[in-house]
Amino acid sequence: MTCRRPAARIGESIEDLAPGPGPLLPREYAELEWATDDTGDRYDLTARHPDGNRIEVRVDAHGSTVLFLGQTPVTALYEPHEFRWPEPVRRSATLTPGHLLCYECDGLGACDCCGGRGWLPSEPHGRSRRPQCAARRICPICGGAGELGLSQLSPYQRTRYPELGR
């Protein structure tokens, strides 16, 4: 009678679950590629599918730990849709008396860096969360108003409007 390590027996039992293609098995199951590895400390069973899915079972040879790992191919969670910039909240014709179009956003009101999304596209990770508005979505200069009061402009802000002169 041979005495084998329990982990190895578990591994072989798992292998028994992986027969060749059969009439009752879905096609995806038959396409799995199985691999086993006995490191001495651990027994690994890996099943890979050509579509990028992978399942791995790790059985600890010296303890009772069984670890299940899974991996899927990179998958988009939603369809990307084209971004449309919002309409400006102010135009020259709709300015409040005594106000000027914001020099930063030119009346947009929304952050003119991220367009009011609060994030920027950043492939391959998807999104960057460091736009100039710090995710507040509105123009940091006018606070979303799209205009600035002429009497409240700082000396620096006045330099952004050359038409005001000195």
Q: Compare residues 11 and 144 and give the one whose CB is closer to Zn ion.
A: 144
Tell me how far apart the alpha carbons of residues 49 and 30 are, in angstroms, rounded to a whole number: 9
Taking the complex as a whole, how short is the minimal distance between the CB of residue 161 and Zn ion, in angstroms? Answer: 13
Closest CA to 7 of 58, 44, 61, 57: 61
Residues 88-117 that bind Zn ion (CB under 5 A): 102, 104-105, 111, 113-114
**What residue type is assigned to position 131 of the chain?**
P
**Using CA atoms in the order 97, 102, 105, 108, what is the torsion angle rounded to 10 degrees?**
-10
Angle at 32 between CA 29 and CA 38, to 5 degrees: 125
Q: Compare residues 58 and 117 and give the one whose CB is closer to Zn ion.
A: 117
Tell me how far apart the alpha carbons of residues 117 and 138 are, in angstroms, rounded to a whole number: 9
Residues 126-145 that bind Zn ion (CB under 5 A): 131, 133, 139, 141-142
Q: Which region among 2-10, 12-20, 44-52, 124-132 touches Zn ion (by CB under 5 A)?
A: 124-132
Taking the complex as a whole, how short is the minimal distance between the CB of residue 108 and Zn ion, in angstroms? Answer: 7
Q: Which DSSP category does 125 fall into? A: T
Q: How many residues touch Zn ion (CB under 5 A)?
A: 11
Taking the complex as a whole, how short is the minimal distance between the CB of residue 94 and Zn ion, in angstroms? Answer: 14
Positions in the binding site for Zn ion (CB under 5 A): 102, 104-105, 111, 113-114, 131, 133, 139, 141-142
